[in-house]
Amino acid sequence: MGFTAIQMKIMPDSPSADLKAIEKKTEEIINSMHKTLVKFEEEPIAFGLSAIITSFAWNDEIEIEVLEAKLQQIPNVSSVEILDIRKAFG
């Protein structure tokens, strides 16, 4: 069993979307699949729209596509994109 460091971009469907609610639901989903520390940052995009950048460690035994599909079902989420994947050793 190994771990991978993952960074994802979660795009809300509008500038008025509640980013904190999306972050909370994202953390709940990640922790339900694999208990880990989740970090969030907001990235301004344009016209008041901000993306959520989340970073976390992921168990290699669980396919990341399953997580992506669950995150895309969060209300007010337009898209989910993997920005970076790095194998963690040690």
Q: Where are the domains of the chain?
A: 3-88
The pLDDT assigned to 37 comes to 81
By the 10 Å C-beta count (0-12 exposed, 13-18 middle, 19+ buried), 10 is classed as: buried
pLDDT at residue 88 is higher than 80: no
Select from 3.40.50.300, 3.30.70.60, 1.10.579.10, 3.30.565.10 the CATH code of 3-88: 3.30.70.60
Per-residue model confidence (pLDDT) at position 89: 65
pLDDT digits (tens, 9 = 90+) for 5-22: 999 999 999 999 999 999
Q: What is the largest CA-CA distance in the chain?
A: 43
How far apart CA 82 and CA 6 sit, in angstroms, is: 7
What are the two backbone dihedrals, phi and then psi, of residue 74, each rounded to the nearest 5 degrees? -65, 135
Q: How far is CA 20 from the centre of its chain?
A: 13
Say what the alpha-carbon torsion angle 72, 81, 18, 31 is, to the nearest 10 degrees. Answer: 70
pTM: 0.90
Backbone angles phi, psi at 76, to 5 degrees: 70, 15
**Per-residue pLDDT tens over the stretch 22-78:** 999 999 999 998 878 889 999 999 999 999 999 998 888 888 999 999 999 999 999
In the prediction, which pLDDT does 62 show?
85
